[in-house]
C-alpha cells in the first residue's frame, strides 16, 4: 500500500505560508496583483480563470480579469499587454492558453515583461531555470517539488524518469530534478522500450496526457509515482496518466488524480505572483 500524497493538504500548507508573505508585503504598502487574460470562450479556460480568481481572493491578492472576444486581434491583445506591463499594480500577467488561431502564442509569451511572467514561460525565465538561477519556477513542476519536499522525499542521488518533454511540464521538471541532484532520464514519444526506462525509476513522473498510460508492469516496486495527467475517460471522469488501481499497491508513494498535482499548480501561480510583488513591486 502506497502513501497517497495529498496535493490538497500540501496546497493548504503552502497557502498558509503565502498568507503570511502577503501580510509582510502589506507592511511595505504592497498588495500583490495578478492580471489574467482570457481570449475567447473555451469552457475549460473559463473554469481555470475562475479558480485563479478565487485563489487570489482567498490570499489577499488583487485579481484583474480581462475577458476578450474570440475575434480579438493580436494587435489588440498586445495593446492590453502594453498597459499591463506598465501598470505598477500588476505584478503578474497570465494569458490563458489556448489562444485563438489568429494570435501567435509564442509571440505573446515573449511580449510579457519577464519580471511579470508568473508562468515562467518567457525565454528569459526558461534560460534562468536552465542555469539554476531563477525568480519564478514553472507552476506544475514547482508544485511537484513541493509535494516531494512535504513527504520528505529528496531526489538527490535518485534516478528520476520523466515521461513527457513539453515546455510547461516535462522539460522544466527534468531540469529542476537535475538541480536537485537527481540522475534524470527524459522519455518521449520516440523513446524505444519505454517500460525498460520507467522500470528503473526511483521517482517516476508521468506527464504524457494519455489516460492510464503507465501500468503496473512499467513501475519498479517501491517507486515514488507522480501523476501529472489530467485526462477524461470514456465516461467523462477525470483520470491521470497512471493506472492508479494497478500501480498504487506496488508504489511507495503516489499522487492521485484528482487531488494530487492539480491543486498545487494554482497555488504555485499565487506563489510566483507574491514573489514578483516582493522582488519587483514597490519600485
Ligand atoms: P503535451 O501534449 O504538451 O506533452 C506530452 C508529452 O508526452 C510529449 O513530450 C510527448 O512526446 C509525450 N508522449 C506522448 N506519447 C508518448 C508515448 N507513447 N510514449 C512516451 N511519451 C509520449 O502535454 P503536457 O505536458 O502539456 O501535459 C501532459 C499532461 O499533464 C496532460 O494530461 C495535461 O492535461 C496534464 N497537465 C496537468 C497539469 C496539472 O496542473 N495537473 C498542468 C499541465 C498539464 P513528444 O514530445 O515526442 O511528442
- Indicate the number of domains in the chain: 2
In 3D space, the residue among 176, 142, 147 whose CA is nearest the CA of residue 160 turns out to be 176
Are 147 and 92 in the same domain?
Answer: no
CA of 111 to the centre of ligand 1 (A): 25
**pLDDT (0 to 100) of residue 43:** 87
The model's pTM: 0.96
Residues 6+ apart with CB under 8 A from 83: none
**pLDDT (0 to 100) of residue 40:** 95
Q: Which residues pair with 38 in a beta bridge?
A: 67
Residue nearest (by alpha carbon) to ligand 1 atom 8: 164
CA of 228 to the centre of ligand 1 (A): 8
Are 104 and 168 in the same domain?
Answer: no
* Residue 119 falls in the annotated catalytic set: yes
Q: Mean pLDDT in runs of 10 for the chain (283 residues)?
A: 97 98 96 97 90 96 97 98 98 96 97 98 97 94 98 98 98 98 98 98 98 98 98 93 98 97 96 97 73
Q: Give the CATH number for residue 150.
A: 3.40.50.720
Whether 209 lines ligand 1, by a CB cut-off of 6 Å, is: yes
Strand 183-187 versus strand 203-206 pairing type: unpaired
From 10, 171, 188, mutation site for ligand 1 pocket: most ligand atoms within 8 A of C-beta: 188
- 112: how many CB neighbours lie within 10 A of its CB? 24
**pLDDT (0 to 100) of residue 283:** 58
Q: Which of 115, 116, 119, 241 is catalytic?
A: 119
Residue 131 domain-assigned (yes or no): no
* Residue 74 falls in the annotated catalytic set: no
Are 36 and 101 in the same domain?
Answer: yes
Contact 184, 177 (CB under 8 A): yes
Strand 224-227 versus strand 253-254 pairing type: parallel
The residue range of the domain holding 187 is: 139-263
- 48: how many CB neighbours lie within 10 A of its CB? 18
* Residue 82 falls in the annotated catalytic set: no
**pLDDT (0 to 100) of residue 15:** 98
Q: How far is CA 23 from the centre of its chain?
A: 24
Per the structure block, which three cell numbers stand in for 36?
Answer: 489574467
Whether 281 lines ligand 1, by a CB cut-off of 6 Å, is: no
Amino acid at each position: 500500500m502506497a502513501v497517497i500524497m495529498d496535493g490538497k493538504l500540501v496546497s493548504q500548507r503552502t497557502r498558509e505560508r503565502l498568507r503570511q508573505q502577503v501580510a509582510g508585503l502589506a507592511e511595505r504598502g504592497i498588495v500583490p496583483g495578478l492580471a489574467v487574460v482570457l481570449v475567447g470562450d473555451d469552457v475549460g479556460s473559463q473554469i481555470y480563470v475562475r479558480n485563479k480568481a478565487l485563489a487570489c481572493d482567498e490570499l489577499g491578492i488583487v485579481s484583474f480579469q480581462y475577458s476578450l472576444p474570440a475575434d480579438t486581434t493580436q494587435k489588440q491583445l498586445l495593446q492590453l499587454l502594453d498597459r499591463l506591463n506598465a501598470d505598477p499594480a500588476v505584478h503578474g500577467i497570465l494569458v490563458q492558453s489556448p489562444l485563438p488561431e489568429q494570435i501567435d502564442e509564442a509571440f505573446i509569451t515573449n511580449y510579457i515583461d519577464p519580471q511579470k511572467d508568473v508562468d515562467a514561460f518567457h525565454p528569459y525565465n526558461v534560460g534562468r531555470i536552465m542555469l539554476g538561477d531563477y525568480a519564478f519556477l514553472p507552476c506544475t513542476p514547482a508544485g511537484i517539488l513541493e509535494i516531494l519536499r512535504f513527504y520528505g522525499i529528496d531526489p538527490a542521488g535518485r534516478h528520476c524518469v520523466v515521461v513527457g518533454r513539453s515546455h510547461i511540464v516535462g522539460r522544466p521538471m527534468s531540469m529542476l530534478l537535475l538541480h536537485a541532484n537527481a540522475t534524470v532520464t527524459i522519455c518521449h514519444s520516440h523513446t524505444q522500450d519505454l517500460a525498460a526506462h520507467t522500470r528503473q525509476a526511483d521517482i517516476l513522473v508521468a506527464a504524457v496526457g494519455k489516460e492510464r498510460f503507465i501500468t503496473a508492469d512499467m513501475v519498479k516496486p517501491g517507486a515514488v509515482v507522480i501523476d501529472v495527467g489530467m485526462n477524461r475517460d470514456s465516461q467523462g471522469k477525470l483520470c491521470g496518466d497512471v493506472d492508479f488501481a494497478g500501480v498504487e499497491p506496488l508504489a511507495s508513494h503516489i499522487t492521485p488524480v484528482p487531488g494530487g498535482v492539480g491543486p498545487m499548480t494554482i497555488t504555485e501561480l499565487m506563489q510566483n505572483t507574491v514573489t514578483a510583488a516582493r522582488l519587483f513591486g514597490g519600485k
